[in-house]
Structure 1
Amino acid sequence: MPTLRLLDVDGRTYRVFASRRAGAKTAFVLIHGIGISHRLFSRLHRVLGERHTVYTLDLPGFGGLPAPRDAPDVSDIAAGIASVLERIGTGPVVAVGNSMGTQWAVELGVRRPDLVTHVVAIGPVADERHRSPLAQAIALGSDTLREPPSANMRVLTEYTRAGPRWYLRQLPHMLDYRIEDRVTELAQPLLVLRGGRDPIAGRQWCVRVRARARRSRLIEVPRHAHLVQHTAPHTVASAIEWFVRDTGA
């Protein structure tokens, strides 16, 4: 079972679930997206944790954690994640994000290359076609029709826990962040991974994000949608492990 730890960074609370494996050569940090929590990474955490050290985070305001009084942007949260990793002594990690978590993972990699060896962006946002609240709502609604009930139930539960107020305070940061520009600053290898039926992170968009990075790969998992790490954890874990091996430590 993962160990649990709460950390305060600049008045904001982070939750860390850690599965440390003795002798593991690779450590992963898993970063959820807007509105949700570690629960949408629990399956991937378990699969990766069979062979590696894995840390899964809950970020401030999500997963039942108190929402900060301010509205930290992507760079603020990335800096907080860096402080968390330093305080728990992870050493260099593979940063894995889903949805808005890809923005925090990329920003962490750009700002702290000493802490990140590789970046994995699962369903990166925001697609140029979806850079308005309405477009995001339509894409999200389309995705719910392609996800299994287990995923939709978890998302609904987590959105309820986070509440609309905190979601709407973070949404402008997600829409303003130009991940396609920030990946050009990554010194680390980047893996862009999407479900083949993901309406939020479309194929052309993911191809563009991959092409903008210096060293990158693109992998699609057929028949899965935006929450592919939840619906196909073994396939996603295998893809990430291959990527880390193929691009070197």
Structure 2
Amino acid sequence: MSSPVRFEIEAAGHLGHVFVSRRPPAGLQGNQHSGPDGGGPAGGRPRPAVVLVHGIGVSHRYLGRLHGVLAETVDTYSVDLPGFGATPRPDHTLSVADHATYILGALEQLGVLDFVLVGHSMGTQFAIQAALQQPERIRQLVLMGPVVDPKRRTVAQQALALGYDSLFFESPSANALVFTDYLRCGPSWYLKTLRVMMGYPTEERITGVTAPVLVLRGAKDPVAGVAWSRRLAGRAKAGQLREIPGTGHVVQHNRAVEVAEAITSFAGLPAAAGATEEFRA
């Protein structure tokens, strides 16, 4: 698979990046700025699309293996939200709703109006909020390692769970991706966003989602416990839980093929034959 094309897109007053594995839409050029009328897909029926959204402090990079597997059979988009990865930092803290609005606006500029939305960790909150804002655009919702588990309602408890996960259940490559992105994010922006994450009522908001929901977790994930994940799936109007054995919170990196199969099976999309190399951007 060739490397995804990066689009720098302004939406809702903020700049972010979208990494695209598909034929570039008319009117947009890779690695260039796109205005609000950046153009949509060439004529014809929309192809199946999956959109991947990262969690707090990180970027598209730890979604790279999953992106590569999915992109074998469906148009795949990975978002770097404003303030994360190599995107410029906004001048104020963004709410979950702000991030959701950016995701929907950026994808609209790319002509992606109907898609499966996949969030990881805090990205599950952005995904839920996007599904509430524009439910007609979200076919299915996949929540990987959702937060915040009521057993870990404090920042200290979250930090302990993440530390335990990184020590015992993550691969060296997953830890390297996450920690280098944390350094790039910086403590100030991370902590501001953390307060937003801790205050979002995930368990309440999911009850308003009309799209089918798959809650997906690594079976050893200490951040998104099994009881919490099961309860979250049960609170969705049409929810189910699936666990991937032998891995922790960053399930999409360590078990990309299994996670891709779970997503495509749930969404009724064509499955890939196997893994591909992680993309670099």
With the length of structure 2 as denominator, give the TM-score of the two structures.
0.85
Partner deviation per Cα, 1:178-212 (whole Å, 9 max, x = no partner)? 11111110110000000000000000000110000
Q: Tell me the secondary structure at the aligned position of residue 80 of structure 1.
A: helix
Q: Which residue of 2 aligns with 1:9?
A: 11
What letter is aligned with 2:197? M
Structure 2 residue aligned with 1:166, among 184, 189, 203? 189
Q: Which residue of 2 aligns with 1:39?
A: 61
Q: Distance in 2 between matches of 1:24 and 1:156?
A: 37
How does 1:82-93 map onto structure 2 within 5 Å? 82-93=104-115
Deviates more, 1:107-116 or 1:26-35: 107-116
How many residue pairs match? The answer is: 246
In the TM superposition, residue 24 of structure 1 has moved relative to its aligned partner by 7.5
Q: Which residue of 2 aligns with 1:148?
A: 171
Q: Which residue of 1 aligns with 2:123?
A: 101
Q: Distance in 2 between matches of 1:56 and 1:240?
A: 15
Structure 2 residue aligned with 1:200, among 189, 202, 223? 223
What letter is aligned with 1:165? S
Q: How much is the aligned-residue C-alpha RMSD, in angstroms?
A: 1.4
Hey, which of these two has a bigger chunk of helix by percent? 1
Q: Which residue of 1 aligns with 2:275?
A: none
Residues 54, 79 of structure 2: 8 Å contact kept: yes
In the TM superposition, residue 110 of structure 1 has moved relative to its aligned partner by 1.1
Q: Which residue of 1 aligns with 2:20?
A: 18
Q: Tell me the secondary structure at the aligned position of residue 118 of structure 1.
A: strand
In the TM superposition, residue 13 of structure 1 has moved relative to its aligned partner by 1.2
Q: Which runs of 5+ in 1 are unaligned?
A: none
Q: Tell me the secondary structure at the aligned position of residue 114 of structure 1.
A: helix
Matched, 1:187 2:210: yes
How does 1:32-71 map onto structure 2 within 5 Å? 32-71=54-93
Q: Distance in 1 between matches of 2:245 and 2:12?
A: 41
Residues 24, 52 of structure 1: 8 Å contact kept: no
Q: Which residue of 1 aligns with 2:40?
A: none
Residues 96, 129 of structure 2: 8 Å contact kept: yes
What letter is aligned with 2:151? R
Larger radius of gyration: 2
Q: Distance in 2 between matches of 1:235 and 1:24?
A: 26
Matched, 1:218 2:241: yes
With the length of structure 1 as denominator, give the TM-score of the two structures.
0.96
Q: Distance in 2 between matches of 1:58 and 1:35?
A: 11
Residues 24, 53 of structure 1: 8 Å contact kept: no
Partner deviation per Cα, 1:23-80 (whole Å, 9 max, x = no partner)? 8842011000000000010100000000000000001111021211111110111011
Q: Distance in 2 between matches of 1:51 and 1:114?
A: 23
